Amino acid sequence: MFQGETAITIDDKGRLAVPTAYRDLVARECGNRLVITYNPFESGSLYLYPLSIWERVRDQVNKLPKVKQVNRNMQLKLVGAAAFVELDSNGRITVPPSHRSAVGIDKKAVLLGMGDKFELWSEQAHHAQIRQTITDDDLSDELLDLQL
């Protein structure tokens, strides 16, 4: 559904413009409503889910046994921090200040279309992530089977 990389500017009110190419899709698929929350796997980024995808993810995460610390951390970062955001008439969403602060997003960010969701990265964290190389030690059987 979503793919590609877009450099994004965040204004002083914490608003970012969703790329024009995605606005109709976001309007059609989720009524202009997205859910923003922390990426539990990598610092420096947020997840932006279409509402229907978010509901499925939220329900799966909430079913995890709360007595395991890793599950509790996942629930806190994904569900506990989730906020609804809605595209305004100019195709912008407002990223909550707490979310921007926690991941280091200031003026410049990068929006990545990752299939069923977006990832919003601070520019600095995204550049650091891109500079990392995949080594032979990182390769799993699933990666080895890819025909790139």
Q: Write down the pLDDT at residue 133.
A: 75
SS3 18: coil
Q: Measure the CA–CA gap between 54 and 46, rounded to whole angstroms.
A: 13
Q: Write down the pLDDT at residue 132.
A: 79
Q: Write down the pLDDT at residue 147.
A: 61
Tokens of residue 68, six digits: 């395991």
Classify strands 15-17 and 2-9 as parallel, antiparallel or unpaired.
unpaired
Tens digits of residue pLDDT in 104-121: 999 999 999 999 999 999
Tens digits of residue pLDDT in 81-111: 999 999 999 999 999 999 999 999 999 999 9
Other C-beta atoms lying within 10 Å of the C-beta of residue 80: 13
Q: For the structural domain made of 2-144, what CATH number should be given? A: 3.40.1550.20
Q: Write down the pLDDT at residue 82.
A: 98
- Is residue 70 classed exposed, middle or buried when 0-12, 13-18 and 19+ CB atoms within 10 A define those classes? exposed
Global confidence as pTM = 0.89
